[in-house]
Amino acid sequence: MTKPNKDTVLDRVLRILSAFDARRRHLSVTDLSQLAGIPLASTYRLVSQLTQEDILTRYADGTVGLGMRLWELAARSSPAVSLRTAAMPFLDDVQAIFRQHTQLSVLDDHEVLVVERLSSRNSVVNQATVATRMPIHTVSMGLVQLAFQPSHVVDDYFAMYPEASQVRYPGSGSIVNTLARIRREGFAMLDGMLDDGTTGAAVPVFDKPSGRHRVAIAAISVVIPDDFEQRSAVIPVLMAASRGLTRALHPVTEAK
């Protein structure tokens, strides 16, 4: 990782915390030093301080991982927590019907962030796990949210990820055509974007129940086998869940 010109303590702490992901849950201090681009002696000092505050935790083999206090602080006040809490009944309903992978995601800093995932034992392969980030144009749950963003947000994304314009999507071709199709149909359903033999289907959760210029604030999605027997029911079920969650998040007060 390239060290910024002005390397503050906060910068270094954030780089240490960001070194952990779903595949790197435990790291040695040496690995942390290399991944974060921080001198080894400084990494040891910061890890010691973070461990004392339970932001990091140290394991018996000498490796370290994210601590429980970090989870506690995030769970106490993160906007994702209230969204997840409101969404869980609807995610549970979808998962009970299809028994594959049911996901809740949001857009954050030009990426898709998975907030929740429910899976069954015999679900198909799925690369998205909770707290995973993915480029928006690579997954249906990202495209369905991008399609319902203001035009400047879409333009900013294309400027940041010019390679998105080179991707070709099944049945619609370019990303511009794909986004237009999603806006017309109200959903995204794409085969084999990340893994052969799978289909990702997603619908947006909106900032208001009805009206013009609605913006997607989240997406509910499933990952299913491409020959899924209940494929025709997937979009109606997802749309019902999306409408329910949108109303739960933005209840309409009836006029007396």
Distance CA 150, CA 185 (A): 18
pTM of the entire structure?
0.80
**Is 131 or 44 the better-scoring residue by pLDDT?**
44
**12-71 tens-digit pLDDT:** 999 999 999 878 999 999 999 999 999 999 999 999 999 999 999 999 999 999 998 888
122: left (phi over 0), alpha (psi -120 to 50) or beta: alpha
Q: Which two tokens stand for residue 161?
A: 């990820």
Long-range CB contacts for residues 112-116, cutoff 8 Å, separation at least 24: 112/136, 112/139, 112/141, 112/142, 112/145, 113/80, 115/80, 115/83, 115/84, 115/87, 115/218, 116/84, 116/87, 116/88, 116/91
- The predicted pLDDT at position 254 comes to 46
- The predicted pLDDT at position 22 comes to 76
**Is 80 or 181 the better-scoring residue by pLDDT?**
181
What residues does 57 pair with on adjacent strands? 65
- Tell me: pLDDT of 7 over 90: no
- Tell me: pLDDT of 157 over 70: yes
List of domains in the chain: 9-74 (1.10.10.10), 78-249 (3.30.450.40)
Give the pLDDT band of residue 152 (cuts 50, 70, 90).
Answer: very high
- The predicted pLDDT at position 252 comes to 60
**69-126 tens-digit pLDDT:** 888 887 776 777 889 999 999 999 999 999 999 999 999 989 999 999 999 998 999 9
- The predicted pLDDT at position 130 comes to 87
